[in-house]
Amino acid sequence: MRFPARHMWRRWSLWLLLVLLVFSMLSTLVWLAGRYEVSQVQTRIERDASDAVTDIRTALTRNAQSLQALQFADRTSVPWAQDAANLVREHREWLRIEWRDLDLNVIAAVDTPFRAPVFARMGRSAKQPEVVQACAVAKRQSGPGYGTSSYVPQKDGLGVEVMDLCLPVITDGQLTGYTVASYALHEMLVNMVGPQLARSREVSFTEADGTRLAMHGTSRRGSRVFTARQLLDLPGHTMVLRMDSWRAAPDLFPNVLTALVTAMAIALVTVLVMLARDMRRRQKVESDLADALAFRKAMEDSLVTGLRARDSEGRITYVNPAFCEMVGFEAKELLGHGIPAPYWPPERIDEYGQRQALRLAGNAPPREGVESVFMRKSGERFAVLIFEAPLINAVGTQTGWMSAVLDISEQRRVEELSRASQERLQATARLATVGEMASLLSHELNQPLAAISSYATGSMNLLQGGALHDPQLSETLSSAIQRIGQQAERAGKVIKSVHDFVRRRDQAREAVAPRTLLDDVMPLVSLQARKLGVRVEVRCPPDLPQVLCDRTMVEQVLLNLSRNGMQAMVDDSTHKKVLTLAVRPAASNAVSRWLEFTVADLGCGIAEEISEKLFTPFFTTKDEGMGLGLSLCRTVVEQHGGFLSHHPNQPRGTVFSFTLPQP
């Protein structure tokens, strides 16, 4: 039996300890809540008292400025008494405004219209101590001065606590008198303290020893009194603003607090249960998220496409291993790096900076991607294709740009090899055509030229034998000369037939937009430009009319002139390499129906001795050239009725231009 009793005692002692702890906690909570409430009420009333003093001081300053304006008013049109009366009507706290001379004698005075004259019974002496004190302070400080408050008895047995304000009157830099305004302290409390501050409080002016001078507000009493005092320090006088607040005893406060504590305890247990559930859900979500991150990282590490993320200011926030391997930099060298990026070639920083500024301004990149050139850490340049898309966060706000970067240097190398092979095949085909034409010409022209030679030899023999004097020989000589003309005509026909054979193709002309012609040749031009490090600019207004031309031949002309222009800038490393393709109306006259195509480079230009032979067939300045390119270009342009020419470019280089007709 002793063991169960001891066990019961231990259980009850634990419950008793728990109850004591709960009661102690509740008592402490009630006491702390009461202390907190008292501190909050006291802090609030002290703050309100400080605000009231600030309002009174501001109102006094504003009133002093109004009195100063009264002194400087023009007295030729409006009398002083009229302006003073207007001020008294606007400010109920003023009982009287006086204009006094240097000896403090009253020159003029205006009383408030809202009550009987306060000083009618006792009068106003020139040597009244409060006025003398206020004006002495005003004279010494050259500003407003306040006198001590005084009690002025009235006929009804009551009285008014009055405080005088004195302002010096300065005329042409000399003191000529004073302006004295008498305040009613009670009206100051009524008109200068906000009504919200006096709604449930009593506000009063007191002396330093606690003597009340004037009061305003609610006089309701309670079991608790909260008092705040603030010093109102004025030039020449100091008062204390006292604010009292009464609060009844909170009879139901402990019961409400106990219920509140119980509800909070239940809420706390509920929150703990919900928190445990939330923690389990969070752990599951974190586990799933870790798996997803591991899966995403495995995918990113296996990609051969470089991934790069940048924020809204252009700083790099993420790169994958493929991108780091592509540019040769480690991730820590790239993360946080802004503009210019370390993998930008120095010669293209300006161009890339402008493109980046457009991207950060919100201009969406083309969906087909942008070709660019990056620089590895070793300095090697390589071609890339960049696809960019906005980087959107979980709330739908764009925080930057996500880029996928493809290394297309090997593809460009294969394309370049293919292009070079095609050019060699074309050159071989042209050489074969020229050889065929030369062989055909030599074969077809052999007989007419041999006949011409024979007839010419016979004619010379006849002339040497005196054929001019023999009629029969003269007739034979005439016949030989006719045969020479016939054979020469036959040779011309042979050349024309061979020329037509070489040019055997239908002359199909169609109306084509100038921009279409440029767009068709831009892939080949861009390929050559990337190889030679040349930047290509296209200037073609969208509102230009169409041209009537053989599309294939004109594209060949543009391609040939573009290649010549880019090759003219290959050996120049000190100047910019820019090739400009432009289209504009021909400047021959105002109503021209021709369009002018120009291809301008910034190369070394063309010397005068070369310029004269530039369009001559088989003349070339290239080691591997055939000298037929510009000659064929001029032939094609002239077949369209146009004209091919060239002139120096400014500041350097050459401009080739040709014209094509409109439909």
DSSP string across 535-592: EEEEE--TTPPPEEE-HHHHHHHHHHHHHHHHHTTTT--SS--EEEEEEEE-SS-TT-
Asked if residue 443 and residue 480 are part of one domain, the reply reads yes
| Residue 441 confidence (pLDDT) | 54
Cα–Cα distance list, 90 to 144, 153, 179, 634 (Å): 20, 25, 17, 97
> What are 310's two structure tokens?
């940048």
Please report the pLDDT score of residue 586 as a whole number.
83
pLDDT exceeds cutoff 60 at 443: no
Give the per-residue pLDDT at 78.
66
Q: Is residue 258 part of a domain?
A: no
User: What was the pLDDT predicted at 659?
Assistant: 92
Average pLDDT over residues 495-517: 68
**Is pLDDT above 90 for 598?**
yes
Show which of 385, 406, 427 is a domain's final residue. Answer: 406
β-bridge pairing 578-585 and 535-539: parallel
Query: CA-based angle 22:28:29, to the nearest 5?
Result: 85
Q: What is the mean pLDDT of the chain?
A: 77
Instruction: Please report the sign of the dihedral spanned by the C-alpha atoms of residue 14, residue 18, residue 20, residue 21.
Output: positive
Most confident segment among 2-6, 95-99, 275-279, 427-431: 95-99
pTM of the model: 0.39
Q: Are 432 and 347 part of one and the same domain? A: no
Which CATH number covers residue 565? 3.30.565.10
Q: Is 213 helix (H, G, I), strand (E, B) or coil?
A: strand
Instruction: Please indicate, yes or no, if residue 629 is contained in any of the structural domains.
Output: yes
Q: What is the mean pLDDT of residues 128-155?
A: 88
| Shared domain check, 419 and 402 | no
Question: 163 or 398: which carries more pLDDT confidence?
Answer: 163
Q: Which residue has the higher pLDDT, 2 or 121?
A: 121
Same domain, 390 and 518: no
Q: Are 418 and 613 in contact (CB under 8 A)?
A: no
Residue 387: which of 305, 469, 451 has the closest Cα?
A: 305
- Model confidence at 1, pLDDT cuts 50, 70, 90, reads very low
Count how many domains the chain has.
4
- The better pLDDT of the pair 5, 599 is held by 599
Residue 2 pLDDT grade (very low, low, confident, very high; cuts 50, 70, 90): very low
Residue 315's pLDDT is: 85
Quick one: average pLDDT of 167-181?
88
d(CA 382, CA 405): 12
Pick from 168-182, 205-219, 416-430, 444-458: least confident = 444-458
Tens of pLDDT along 21-74? Answer: 656 765 666 666 667 677 777 888 888 888 888 988 999 999 888 888 887 766
Residue 660 pLDDT grade (very low, low, confident, very high; cuts 50, 70, 90): very high
What CATH number is given to the structural domain containing 136?
A: 3.30.450.350
Residue 537 has pLDDT above 70, yes or no: yes
Q: Is there a single domain that holds both residue 157 and residue 173?
A: yes
Please check whether residue 15 lies inside any domain of the structure. no
- Amino acid in position 477: L
Specify the pLDDT at position 251. Answer: 46
Q: Are 402 and 473 part of one and the same domain?
A: no
Mean pLDDT of 603-623: 72
**Of 139-148, 361-370, 406-415, which has the strongest mean pLDDT?**
139-148
CATH code at position 366: 3.30.450.20
> Which tops the pLDDT comparison, 501 or 96?
96
Over residues 209-232, the mean pLDDT reads 78
Q: What is the pLDDT of residue 223?
A: 60
Q: Residue 589's pLDDT is what?
A: 47
Question: Are both 425 and 481 inside the same structural domain?
Answer: yes
- Give pLDDT, residue 321: 85
pLDDT at 595 over 70: yes
> Is pLDDT at 630 greater than 90 in this prediction?
no
pLDDT recorded at residue 449: 66
Q: Tell me if 30 is assigned to some domain.
A: no
The least confident of 194-203, 216-225, 375-384, 566-575 is: 216-225
Segments forming the whole domain that contains residue 483:
413-502
Q: Is the pLDDT of residue 108 over 60?
A: yes
Same domain? 490 vs 520: no
Residue 41 lies inside a defined structural domain of this protein: no
Residue of 182, 180, 240, 181 lying closest to 211 (CA atoms): 240
Q: What's the confidence (pLDDT) of residue 533?
A: 83
Cα 75 from chain centroid?
Answer: 60
Whether 632 has a pLDDT exceeding 70, the answer reads: yes
| DSSP notation for 434-462 | HHHHHHHHHHHHHHHHHHHHHHHHHHHHH
Q: Which residue has the higher pLDDT, 288 or 613?
A: 288
Q: Are residues 534 and 650 in the same domain?
A: yes
Looking at 502, 523, 554, the residue that finishes a domain is: 502
CA within 13 Å, CB half, 48: 24
Q: What pLDDT score does 252 carry?
A: 45
**pLDDT recorded at residue 523:** 75
Last residue of a domain, one of 247, 267, 290: 247
pLDDT at residue 600 in the model: 92
- Residue 464 is predicted with a pLDDT of 63
Distance CA 442, CA 445 (A): 5
Q: How far apart are CA 428 and CA 422, in angstroms?
A: 10
Residue 93 lies in a domain: yes
Is the residue at 276 inside a domain?
no
- Report pLDDT for 378: 86
Name beta bridge partners: 578.
535
> Is there a single domain that holds both residue 422 and residue 487?
yes
- Cβ atoms within 10 A of the Cβ of 172, count? 5
Distance CA 161, CA 173 (A): 35
Checking if the pLDDT of 81 tops 80, the result is yes
Residues 516 and 649 in one domain: yes
206 and 354 part of one domain: no
User: Is the residue at 529 inside a domain?
Assistant: yes
